[in-house]
Amino acid sequence: MTEGTLSRFRRRLASPEAALPYALLGILSGAITAVLMIVFRLALEWPLAHWLPDQSPENFEALSWHWHLLLPFGGALLLGICLHFVSPVHRFTGIPHVIAALHNGRGRLPPANLFTQFAGGLVALLSGQSGGREGPAVHIGSAASSLFGAALRLPNNSLRVMTACGTAAAIAASFNTPIAGVIFAMEVVMLEYTVAGFVPVILAAVTATTLSQAVFGAVVFLPATNVNMTSLLELPFIALLGCIGGTLSALFVLIQKRCLTWLNKPIWLRLGIAGLVTGVCALLAPQVLGIGYDSLQAALDGSYSLQLLLLLTVLKLVATAISCGMGMPIGIIGPSLLVGAFAGGALGILGAAAVPALAPDHSFYVLMGMAALMGAILNAPLAALLAVIELTHNLNIIFPAMLAVISAQLVHRELFKLQSAHQTTLLAMQQAVRTNPLTLTLLRTSAAAVMDRNIKHVSQKPDRHELQKLLEKPVRWLVITNAEGQRIIVHREHWFPVLSETQDTEADAGIDLLAVLENRRRAANFEINGTLMEALETMNQEGLDSLFVSARRQRRGPPDEGVITREALSDHYNLPIRF
C-alpha cells in the first residue's frame, strides 16, 4: 500500500461510518489475533500434555499430592520474583487493562504489557493456577491489533475499534463462540452497542473462528443438545438458582476487592500468597488446579457427588478470587463458568431429591449455573447467555437461562450493590471509566473527520503581492504564527473586510496582521489522529476554544492540516458549546 493510499485510508477511518475500511480492519484484526491465539494455546497445551499423566493437558488431579501444593506455590513465587523486576505500569494485564486502554488510553496498549501478559499468563497456567486462558487471550489479541493499527498510524478512534475486534476474535478463537465474542466485546469492553461497530467486530470473530477451527477443528465445547427444562414448575427453582449465583458472584467480588487493597505490597509476596492459597485448596480438591475444562465436563456428566460439588464451589471461588485480586495474570471467565457449574450441579441434585416427581436433568442446572454466575461476575448477561448456548449448541435453554441470568444480575447489583469484577479492579487501580453517551460519541470520531481544512498560512507582515493573492481567493481561516511560535487563527468574517479596506491605503506594505485584526484566536497544536474527546479535553486544559490540527509525522505529500473549534463540535453533534 502506497503512502498516498494509506493517507486516504486513514482519512476515511476518521469517521465511524466508514463501513468498508472498518470491515477490512476487522478481518486483519481477526487474522492477527487468531494466529496469536493458536500459538498461545499450543504453547500452553503442548508442555502440559507431555508433563501431566496420561498426556492430558488438564490432568493435574493425577499428580502426586505434594505437587498439588508445590506446583502452584512454586510457579506463583517464580512469577512474582520475575515480575518484581518489571515496572509496575507494565504489570497491568488482562481484560481490565484492555478496558482502561480503550476508554482512557484511546485504544493504545503498550507492547511491554503484551509481553508481560503472554509470558506471565503461560507461567501461571502451566503451574496450575486457578484461572482461565481467556483473560490473557483478550489482552494479547487486543494489544496485537492495536499495535498493528498504531504501526500504520491509524486514527485513535479506529484503534479503539481494532481493540474491540481483537477482544471478539480472542473470545471466539478460545471457545469457538463467535457470537458470544462479539457481544462480549460490545457489552464488557466497548460498553456500548453501535450498528457501525458491529461490522468489523463480527468480521473479526468470524475470521478468528475460521482459522481456529482450521487448526483445532470445529469441536463443540460442551455437547448437551438434548438438555431441557421438563416443566414450567421449575421456573421458581431456576430463579432461586439465579439468586444463589448472584450471591456467589458477590462473594467473589468482595474477596477480590479485599485482596486489591494489597496492591501496594511487593508483587512476589502477593503472588506467593495466591499460589499458596491455591495449593492448599488443591490439597483438599485437586480439581481446583488449572483451567478445569475436564472438571466442567465431569460436572455436566454427573460424575461428581453432592459433597464434592459443594466443596469445589467454595474452593474454586476462593482460589480464583484471591488469585485475581492479588494480580495473577489469569482470566476469570473460565473459573466463573466452573463455579457456576458446580453450584448448579449441587442445586440440581438437591432439587431432584426434594421434588422427585419433576426429576430434572442434572446437567440442565449445571448450564443454568454457568450462565448465571458468568453474567453476574462480568456484568454481561447477554454475553453469558450466548456463550452457554454456543458452548453447548443447545437452543432449548434460552428461555430458562434468561431468568437465571437476570436473577443473578439483580442480586449482585441491586442487593449487594457491587460492580463487575473488572470494574472493581479498575476502581481499585484508580482507572475509572467514563461511559456516558457524550464521551462515547466523541471517542468514536477522529479530529480529521470534523476539522475545517479551508485554511491558509500567512506571515505576520505580508507584502502587497501576498495580500492581493489572499483577497483574490479568500479562505475561511488565516493561520498566523507569531514570534513565540504560537498559532493565531482568524475567521474570514473578521479578516476579509479589514484587509479589503487596508489594501487601498499606502500603509499596506508594512501591515501587521496581529495589530490590525480583531477577534483573533490562539490555537493549541493537536495531532490529527486524536479523537474529538481528546480535542475537547485539550481545549479545556489549555483554556482555548480552537485547535490547529496537523499530522506531525507525515512523510510525503501536502500537509493535512485544519482547524477545530468548540463551536464546530457543537454544530456537529448539536450539543451545547460549553461541555
The pLDDT tens digits of the residues spanning 491-545 come to 999 899 888 887 665 444 568 888 888 889 999 999 999 999 999 999 999 999 9
pLDDT of residue 338: 95
Residue at 561: amino acid letter: E
Least confident span in 145-154, 165-174, 235-244, 479-488: 479-488
Phi–psi pair at 490, nearest 5 degrees: -135, 130
pLDDT of residue 382: 94
pLDDT of residue 578: 46
Q: 217 with 344: CB under 8 angstroms?
A: no
Report the sign of the C-alpha dihedral through residues 79, 82, 85, 87, in that order: negative
Under the banding of pLDDT at 50, 70 and 90, the label for residue 179 is very high
CATH placement of domain 446-573: 3.10.580.10
Q: In the CATH scheme, what architecture does the domain 232-428 have?
A: Orthogonal Bundle (1.10)
For 278, residues 6+ apart whose C-beta sits below 8 A from its C-beta are 72, 73, 76, 128, 129, 130, 288, 289, 319, 322, 323
Same fold, 3-220 and 446-573: no
pTM, to two decimals: 0.91
| Distance from C-alpha of 398 to C-alpha of 375, rounded to nearest angstrom | 14
Q: Where are the domains of the chain?
A: 3-220, 232-428, 446-573
Q: 422 with 95: CB under 8 angstroms?
A: yes
- Of 11-20, 80-89, 441-450, 474-483, which has the strongest mean pLDDT? 80-89
Reply yes or no on whether the pLDDT at 231 is more than 70: yes
Under the banding of pLDDT at 50, 70 and 90, the label for residue 356 is confident
Reading the block at residue 104, the C-alpha cell is: 482512557
pLDDT of residue 577: 46
Q: Which residues of 362-380 are buried (b: 16+ CB within 10 A; e: fewer)?
A: bbbbbbbbbbbbbbbbbbb
Reading the block at residue 382, the C-alpha cell is: 447477554
Helices (H) and strands (E) in the chain, counts: 24, 6
Reply yes or no on whether the pLDDT at 215 is more than 70: yes
| Distance from C-alpha of 29 to C-alpha of 49, rounded to nearest angstrom | 30
Least confident span in 52-66, 91-105, 412-426, 552-566: 552-566
Average pLDDT, the chain: 90
For 258, residues 6+ apart whose C-beta sits below 8 A from its C-beta are 325
pLDDT of residue 145: 95
- The CATH class of 3-220 is mainly alpha
Q: Which residues of 532-563 are buried (b: 16+ CB within 10 A; e: fewer)?
A: bbbbbebbeeeeebbbbbbbeeeeeeeebbbb
The pLDDT tens digits of the residues spanning 433-451 come to 877 788 888 888 899 989 9
pLDDT of residue 351: 85
Under the banding of pLDDT at 50, 70 and 90, the label for residue 284 is very high
Q: Which residues of 237-268 are buried (b: 16+ CB within 10 A; e: fewer)?
A: bbbebbbbbbbbbbbbbebbbebbebeeeebb
pLDDT of residue 579: 41
At residue 408, the 3 state secondary structure works out as helix
Q: 356 with 326: CB under 8 angstroms?
A: no
Under the banding of pLDDT at 50, 70 and 90, the label for residue 576 is low
Which of 332, 16, 380, 330 has the alpha carbon at shortest distance from 191?
380
Mean pLDDT, residues 448-457: 92
The residue among 285 and 4 whose pLDDT is bigger is 285
Least confident span in 351-365, 463-477, 520-534: 351-365
For 268, residues 6+ apart whose C-beta sits below 8 A from its C-beta are 77, 80, 81, 83, 84
Alpha helices in 262-397 (DSSP H): 267-284, 293-301, 306-325, 333-354, 362-378, 381-392
DSSP string, 460-523: SS--HHHHHHHHHS--SEEEEE-TTS-EEEEEHHHHHHHHHHHTTSGGGGG--HHHH--S-EEE
